[in-house]
Structure formats: structure tokens, C-alpha cells
Amino acid sequence: MADKPLILITDDEKSIRNILRDILEFENYGVEEAENGEEALSAVANKPIDLVICDIKMKGMDGIEVLEKIKSSKPEVPVIMISGHGTIKIAVDAAKKGAFDFLEKPPDLNRLLITVRNALDSSKLKRENRQIRTELHGVKEIIGDSPEIERIKKTIEKIAPSNSRVLITGENGTGKELVARSIHTLSNRASKKFVDVNCAAIPSELLESELFGHEKGAFTGATHQRIGKFEMAHEGTLFLDEIGDMSPDAQAKVLRALQENQIMRVGGTETVKVDVRVISATNKELQQEIENGNFREDLFHRLSVIPIHLPPLRERKGDIPTLAKLYLAGLGDEDIVFAGKSFSDDALEALKKQTWSGNIRELQNVVERLALLAPEDVITAKDVEQLVINRKQQKQVLNDLINDTDTFQQYKEEAERLFLIKKLEKYDWNVSATAEAIDIQRSHIYNKMKKYDIER
């Protein structure tokens, strides 16, 4: 919040707006005015409004509708409702829709100021709590200013306040969990738990118990009742990662839980009501999995109300310099060994030219390798060539070798042949120098050159 909070007064009576402005400005608050709902929503969308005071009875869009739209788009902004026709029913309705408080017109001066102060304090506390939770969970900002990432950021801001289910797709290492946590952090459920489940890491026979819990004695080893992930995430967010690897039985039970908003623990006889927002993620093409009979189409449609696709790093190479510098700075903050390291411009250009099949995770690993092994504080394109590109090429050679040989003996012989050729080339085909360098007798090299038909 700014040093001088900005309060929006929304009322179609100019006299009321003038009175409230005088009071609030005297208390050193900043004031904006709107004479109807449309102007109010525009101000909230485009200005750093910290608090809204809104009349209920207005021409056109009434105050309750304005309240609902503000709570949908900017849930963190508190709204105080005012009305000259106050009733208990109106007050209760406003509270249910998310109003911070309800005041009758003309408002009592002391009560107005106390309510304004409390609303601003409450809003500040919520933001601070959200920041603390973010830091505790290690949630980091989605980094990048490429058009693809900007679109994703805007989508997250738009959908976070809703309860709509989200399906995040993308290759491994593109940051699917980070997007899921960002949605939760910006949602109305941010004060509740974010519970994540890696569906690929749990054996299919245990996944049902993991998701829904079990009763004591439900199976061998069930010595006590256990609460499942759905119950743990009650009123919060459940993140089902690698949903494409879920077994058919588990898919059917998850579908039923989503349809009925209730679950039954393994071995139980009673249903348990659950209120969770489900965000799921996968690196698989679920449409193809549906065609192959591996994934339920009805579950897919339940999960993918809002689809978000994360592009691979190779499709947003403009973000690589920013990401690389950020990761390098982070390493320096965590360990003095990495302090003072930086990238030259040509090193960043060299990184941009890579394919990054492992996406963000691969880039993080490469940055750490460069920071640790580069001989100077400034990491150069030569370092990238030696420590990244050459290593990738070597790995590719090994992969090709494995794919092209059928038996262990064939692999050993082909590897030996390639090794000898590489070393002979290094020592300009001087057999004596090569033999000394690789610590074998010259006669052995000649024998192997003959065996493998190696010629200069």
C-alpha cells in the first residue's frame, strides 16, 4: 500500500461524494470519485485503489453488482457499502457478497473513520500474510517478458479469483507447478492450503488412499485413520501433477469426487463433503491419450475448464538472458562460492542458441555448472562452448552409440574404437605419444587399429 491510501467513493449523489471527500481528505487519505458502477469498475481496474466506499442504490448498475465484480477481479480490495435505506437483509446480503462492512447514510463520522481504518489495516494484513505464505512455500514470480509469458501472467490474474478448474500443459521443466502455486496465491483461497500430489510418483494401488484417505483396518498396514489429500485441501487448492499418469480406477474416483464434491475414504461407509479447487498438470497430450483409451474424456472436460499451455524454453528464447542472470544472482545470494559471477553478452547469446530440451530445469543446472566451473568471474561464450555445448555433443554421441548397438560387447568395441580415433587425432596420429597419454603399450594400439580397421 502507498504511504497515502487511495479511497474510491462511488455514489450517484454529488453531495454525498463531497461530504465523504472532505472527511477523508482531512484525515490525509487520497480520494477518487465515481458517480456510477461503470466508472467505479474502471477506476479499480486502472488505478491503485486501496479501498472502495460504494452506495447500494444507484442508477444503472447497483452497488451489490459493483461489489460482486470488484470481489471477482480484485478480491484483495475491501469494499464498504453505504445506503440510505438500510435493512438487516441488505446488510447480510452485502456481507455474503464480500463487503467489509455496511454503513447507513449519512454515516456517523467516528464509525466511518474507524471502519475505513480497519478495512485498510485488514487489507494490508492479508497482503503481508500472502507474502509470508509465498516465501514459506518458495513460490517465485513467473519470470519473463516474452509475449507468451505476458499472456500467461494476464490469464493467471484473470482466472485466479474464480473457482474454475485449470489444466496446465507443457513439457517437463516448463514451470507448471509454479503456475499452479501462482494461481493459488492470487486466489480467494490463498489463506488455505495448497496441497500437491504427483500422480506419477505414487503406485496406482496406493494413489486412492493418498487422495481420499482410509479408515483404520481398511487394508493390511492401515493401523489408524488417515486423511487424504482432498480433505487436506478443503477450502484450498489441490494440485494434481502428472494427471496423465493416473490409473483408470483412480480417474473414475476423481471424476466422481469432482461431480459430487464429496469423497469416501478407503474402507469407509460415510461420504465426506469437500470444497477444493482442482488444478491439474500434465506433459502428455491428453487428447491422444483419450484416443488411445488411456484417459477418460469426461474427466478431461471436468479438469480443463481453463486450459493454460506453457511454451518450451526454445520458443521464448528472449527470456533466457533474464532467467540466466536471475538464477546466477540467486546462487550468489545463497553461497559465497558463486558471489561476483556474471555473464558476458556473448555468453548470453550462446545460451540463447541452445535447444534446451530440459527447459527451465536444464537452464538452472547449466547456470550452476558455469558458475562453478568457469575459470574467471565473467562467464564467456568460450565457457559455454566448453562446459555446455561440447558436453551436450558428447552426451549425444553416447546416446547414438547406445541406440546403434545391440549387445554389451558391441557397445564396448565401438566405444573403444571411437576413443582411440579421438586420442590419435588429439596427438596428430603419433602412436607413441598416444600410447603414453592413455597408458597402454604401442603394440596394443597397433593391434586395435588393425582390429577396428582404423586408418589416418
Model pLDDT, residue 423: 87
Q: Which residues are within 8 A (CB) of 193 and not within 5 positions of it... i.e. 6 or more apart?
A: 232, 233, 236, 237
For 31-48, write each residue's pLDDT tens digit.
999 999 999 999 998 888
**Does pLDDT of 421 surpass 50?**
yes
For 157-166, write each residue's pLDDT tens digit.
999 999 999 9
d(CA 253, CA 302): 13
d(CA 117, CA 108): 14
**Predicted confidence band at 300 (pLDDT cuts at 50, 70, 90)?**
very high
Buried b (16+ CB within 10 A) or exposed e, 93-127: bbeebebbbbbebebeeeebbebbeebbeebeeee
Residue 10 near residue 52 (C-beta atoms within 8 A): yes
**Predicted confidence band at 274 (pLDDT cuts at 50, 70, 90)?**
very high
Model pLDDT, residue 211: 93
**Does pLDDT of 1 surpass 50?**
no
Model pLDDT, residue 401: 60
Model pLDDT, residue 391: 57
Beta-strand relationship, 262-264 and 271-273: antiparallel
Percent of the chain, pLDDT > 90? 50
What average pLDDT does range 260-268 have in this prediction? Answer: 91
What average pLDDT does range 23-38 have in this prediction? Answer: 93
Model pLDDT, residue 396: 59
For 337-372, write each residue's pLDDT tens digit.
788 889 999 999 999 988 888 899 899 999 998 998
**Predicted confidence band at 221 (pLDDT cuts at 50, 70, 90)?**
confident
What average pLDDT does range 48-65 have in this prediction? Answer: 91
- What is the average pLDDT value for the chain, to the nearest integer? 87
Query: Please, what are the domains in the chain?
Result: 6-133 (3.40.50.2300), 147-311 (3.40.50.300), 314-391 (1.10.8.60), 405-451 (1.10.10.60)
**Does pLDDT of 2 surpass 60?**
no
Our CA angle for 135, 341, 357, nearest 5°, is 70
Beta-strand relationship, 342-343 and 378-379: parallel
Model pLDDT, residue 27: 92
Only one residue has cell 469498475, namely 41
Residues 121, 126, 131, 136: is their CA dihedral positive or negative?
Answer: positive
For 172-219, write each residue's pLDDT tens digit.
989 999 999 999 999 989 889 999 999 988 887 788 889 999 888 888
Model pLDDT, residue 55: 92
Model pLDDT, residue 380: 94
Residue 1 near residue 124 (C-beta atoms within 8 A): yes
Model pLDDT, residue 392: 56
For residue 238, give the amino acid letter.
L
For residue 12, give the amino acid letter.
D
Of the listed ranges 95-109, 391-405, 414-428, the least confidently predicted one is: 391-405
For 367-407, write each residue's pLDDT tens digit.
998 998 888 999 999 999 888 876 555 555 556 667 777 78
Residue 237 near residue 282 (C-beta atoms within 8 A): no
For 424-437, write each residue's pLDDT tens digit.
888 888 989 898 88
Model pLDDT, residue 137: 47
**Which of 29-33, 45-49, 438-442 is predicted most confidently?**
29-33
Model pLDDT, residue 203: 80
d(CA 364, CA 329): 12
Model pLDDT, residue 314: 92
What average pLDDT does range 122-128 have in this prediction? Answer: 75
Model pLDDT, residue 139: 45
Among the listed residues 45, 13, 49, 56, the one whose alpha carbon sits nearest the alpha carbon of residue 32: 49
Residues in the chain: 456
407 or 152: whose pLDDT is higher? 152
Model pLDDT, residue 398: 56
